[in-house]
Amino acid sequence: MIRKYQKKFLISILLSNDITPLIVSQYYALHVLDSGGDFRSISTYDKQFALLQKGGFVVCAYDKENNSVPLGMLHILVSKNRAYDASVAIKPEYQQFYLSHILKNEAIKEL
């Protein structure tokens, strides 16, 4: 399924210096949509991204025609030569395209 749908998306890897307040707010908005509600304050997302900036990266998926807002984001923390799938959020209407699997596949390639 990954190969079938991967062509629909533009995938981007964000390293520590690419993580901006805009990226944090975009993830926050995605997470609220994906989880069905606003259950945490934005400050917890700031802390989550601060950890990523110390060791990790974010895999983002965008629509190829409109790449200004991510449709899915995956956080990978890296510590002591180990990688950890820390969090993922997918825009609900794109879950049918196995976007989470596509992001994880890209993360494995990056590692």
Residue 97, pLDDT score: 95
Q: How confident is the model at residue 90 (pLDDT cuts 50, 70, 90)?
A: very high
Residue 102, pLDDT score: 97
Note the pTM of the prediction, 2 decimals: 0.92
- Pairing mode, strands 72-79 and 9-14: unpaired
Residue 3, pLDDT score: 84
Residues 6+ apart with CB under 8 A from 80: none
Query: How does DSSP classify residue 93?
Result: G
Note the pLDDT tens digit of each residue in 62-87.
998 888 899 999 999 999 999 999 99
Measured in residues, the chain has a length of: 111
Give yes or no for residue 1 having a pLDDT over 80.
Answer: no
Fold assignment, 2-110: Aminopeptidase (3.40.630)
